[in-house]
């Protein structure tokens, strides 16, 4: 009976968590979520949707932007980034997949939300993190990346019209009267993958280091599979208070995404 009740509770909470407010393409919703709403109960709300870009609000300050990357090995892949908005300032983790969808994201933030973008933080050197970087350069939005990421981009012959600002292990940036953090925890999907954390909403952007529950291992071309579970275990220990976990691909959730990723690569 206890197991059955627990399963029912999980199923109900999951259906609420992943419920969408469906919109016609290109439309947006300007309404705000209740300030006291519980993340697990209110679900995620689509606030913008086009063929190239979806934006969902997960909590008072946290959004996911999802764009689509055409790949030879995996087809058309949905790619997540995280957006933090506080007051009239924003910080973005990872660009959308290309300049067109990146421009859509910038226009939504500056036009609909009436918010300035303080910074962009690519979490590793792959195209799903930097594919739209020139759109941000065109708007004079500074980009920050780990020194490892910058070195790997250079080694792959990637050139951009503006330099990326480097950090070593950690980065702290203001977003309104709050702070957002980027940190290198260890190797996994790539040797340079960093994570993002916004403590006020207990939101952690794992990027491609973290898998959605049920996902396969995915692209291992630049991975350190042996180090991967240890890196995620370290991440889980460092941020035990995290409630919102956003993977690089697929649905967000809670700490079960960390546990799933650890077991997947053990």
Instruction: Choose among 243, 259, 258, 248: nearest CA to 61.
Output: 243
Nearest 5°: CA angle at 34, between 28 and 36?
Answer: 150
What does the DSSP 8-state code read for residue 215?
-
Cα gap 72→102, rounded to integer Å:
22
Looking only at the bridges linking them, the beta strands covering 244-247 and 45-49 are unpaired
Cα gap 185→147, rounded to integer Å:
14
DSSP reduced 3-state for 210: coil
Axis-axis angle for helices 228-238, 256-265 (nearest 10)? 160
Cα gap 204→25, rounded to integer Å:
28
CB 66 within 8 A of CB 48: no
Phi, psi of 7 (to 5 degrees): -60, -45
What does the DSSP 8-state code read for residue 28?
B
Q: Residues with catalytic annotation?
A: 124, 126, 128, 189, 208, 211, 219, 249
Alpha-helical segments (H) within 30-121 = 39-42, 99-107
């Amino acid at each position: 009976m206890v197991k059955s009740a627990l399963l029912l509770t999980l199923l109900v909470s999951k259906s609420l968590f992943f419920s969408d407010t469906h919109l016609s393409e290109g439309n947006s919703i300007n309404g705000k979520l209740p300030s006291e709403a519980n993340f697990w109960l209110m679900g995620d709300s689509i606030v913008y949707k086009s063929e190239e870009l979806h934006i969902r609000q997960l909590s008072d300050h946290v959004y996911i932007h999802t764009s689509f990357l055409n790949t030879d090995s995996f087809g058309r892949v949905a790619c997540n980034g995280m957006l933090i908005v506080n007051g009239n300032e924003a910080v973005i983790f990872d660009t959308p997949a290309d300049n067109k969808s990146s421009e859509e994201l910038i226009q939504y933030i500056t036009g609909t939300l009436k918010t300035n973008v303080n910074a962009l933080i690519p979490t590793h050197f792959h195209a799903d993190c930097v594919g739209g970087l020139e759109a941000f350069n065109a708007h004079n939005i500074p980009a920050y990346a780990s020194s490892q990421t910058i070195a790997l981009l250079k080694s792959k012959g990637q050139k951009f019209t503006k330099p990326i600002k480097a950090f070593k292990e950690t980065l702290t940036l203001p977003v309104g009267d709050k702070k957002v953090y980027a940190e290198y925890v260890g190797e996994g999907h790539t040797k340079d993958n960093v994570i993002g954390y916004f403590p006020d909403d207990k939101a952690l952007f794992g990027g491609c280091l973290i898998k959605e529950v049920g996902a396969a291992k995915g692209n291992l071309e630049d991975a350190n599979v042996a180090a991967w579970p240890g890196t995620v275990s370290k991440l889980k220990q460092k941020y035990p208070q995290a409630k919102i976990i956003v993977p690089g691909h697929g649905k967000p959730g809670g700490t079960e995404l960390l546990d799933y990723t650890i077991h997947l690569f053990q």
